[in-house]
C-alpha cells in the first residue's frame, strides 16, 4: 500500500509543480485538480471514507467555481511583467546563496525527520491510549454506528460547533465585503 501511496504522492507533487509554472490558467486549474483528487485516493487507501467524501465534494465545487471564473475572464496569464523581470535579475545574482540555503535546510529537516521516526510505531498503528478508548467504547457510549460522527458530535461537539461557526463567519464576511449598496 505504501508503494501506491508514494506513486500517488509523486503525481500530486508533479501536478502542484505544473500548476505553478503553467502559462495557461485552465491547465493550471486542472493540475490543481490532480492534487485534490490524488488526496481523495490517499484518504481512501488510508481507510478514511468520511474525509474522502468531504474532500471529493469540496474539490469538485472549488474546481467548478474556479473554472467558471477562468472561462469568464482572460484565460491566458499576462506575459512577463516588469516585476517578474526584476525578480529574474535578483535570482541570477543571488542564485548561489539561495541554493545553498535550500540544501542546508533540506539536510537539517531530513536528519531531524530520521531522528523523529525511530521511536514511532509501524505505519497505520495507533499510539495513544485515548484512541483505544474511543475505538472500543465509543459506539456503546454514543449509540452511533459511525464512529467518526459519534466523536464529532458527542465527544468533540464543541469543536464541531466552532467549525460550523467558522462557515457562518465566512459567509457573513463575504456578504460584508462584496456589497455595493451602503458602501461609499
Nearest to other proteins of 2, 72 (CB atom): 72
Alpha-helix runs per DSSP H in 22-178: 25-45, 49-72, 82-93, 95-116, 129-142, 147-150, 157-177
The answer to whether 164 contacts other proteins (rule: CB under 8 A) is: yes
User: Do the Cβ atoms of 43 and 1 come closer than 8 Å?
Assistant: no
SS3 at position 24: strand
The answer to whether 139 contacts other proteins (rule: CB under 8 A) is: yes
Residue 21 grid cell: 509554472
List 125, 143, 182, 184, residue binding other proteins (CB under 8 A): 143
List 53, 101, 108, 110, residue binding other proteins (CB under 8 A): 53
Determine the Cα–Cα distance for residues 24 and 5; give it in Å rounded to an integer: 29
Nearest to other proteins of 27, 169 (CB atom): 169
The answer to whether 65 contacts other proteins (rule: CB under 8 A) is: yes
User: Do the Cβ atoms of 139 and 154 come closer than 8 Å?
Assistant: no
The answer to whether 116 contacts other proteins (rule: CB under 8 A) is: no
- Sign of torsion, CA 99 79 178 57? negative
Determine the Cα–Cα distance for residues 175 and 21; give it in Å rounded to an integer: 33
User: Do the Cβ atoms of 1 and 30 come closer than 8 Å?
Assistant: no
The answer to whether 66 contacts other proteins (rule: CB under 8 A) is: no
List 4, 68, 90, 99, residue binding other proteins (CB under 8 A): 68
Pattern of binders to other proteins over 70-99, x per CB under 8 A?
A: --x---------------------------
Using CB under 8 A, list all residues that contact other proteins. Answer: 49-50, 52-54, 57-58, 60-61, 64-65, 68, 72, 139-140, 142-146, 148-150, 152-154, 157-158, 160-161, 163-165, 167-168, 170-171, 174-175, 178-180
Amino acid at each position: 500500500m505504501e508503494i501506491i501511496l508514494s506513486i500517488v504522492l509523486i503525481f500530486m507533487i508533479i501536478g502542484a509543480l505544473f500548476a505553478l509554472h503553467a502559462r495557461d490558467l485552465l491547465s493550471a486549474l486542472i493540475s490543481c485538480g490532480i492534487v485534490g483528487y490524488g488526496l481523495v485516493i490517499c484518504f481512501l487507501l488510508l481507510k478514511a471514507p468520511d474525509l474522502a467524501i468531504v474532500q471529493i465534494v469540496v474539490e469538485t465545487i472549488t474546481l467548478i467555481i474556479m473554472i467558471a471564473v477562468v472561462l469568464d475572464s482572460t484565460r491566458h496569464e499576462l506575459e512577463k511583467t516588469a516585476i517578474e523581470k526584476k525578480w529574474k535579475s535578483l535570482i541570477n545574482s543571488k542564485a548561489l546563496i539561495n541554493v545553498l540555503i535550500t540544501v542546508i535546510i533540506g539536510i537539517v529537516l531530513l536528519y531531524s525527520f530520521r531522528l523523529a521516526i525511530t521511536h514511532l510505531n509501524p505505519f497505520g498503528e495507533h499510539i495513544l491510549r485515548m484512541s483505544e478508548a474511543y475505538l472500543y467504547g465509543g459506539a456503546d457510549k454514543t449509540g452511533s454506528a459511525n464512529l467518526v460522527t459519534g466523536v464529532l458530535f458527542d465527544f468533540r461537539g464543541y469543536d464541531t460547533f466552532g467549525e460550523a461557526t467558522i462557515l457562518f463567519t465566512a459567509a457573513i464576511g463575504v456578504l460584508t465585503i462584496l456589497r455595493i449598496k451602503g458602501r461609499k
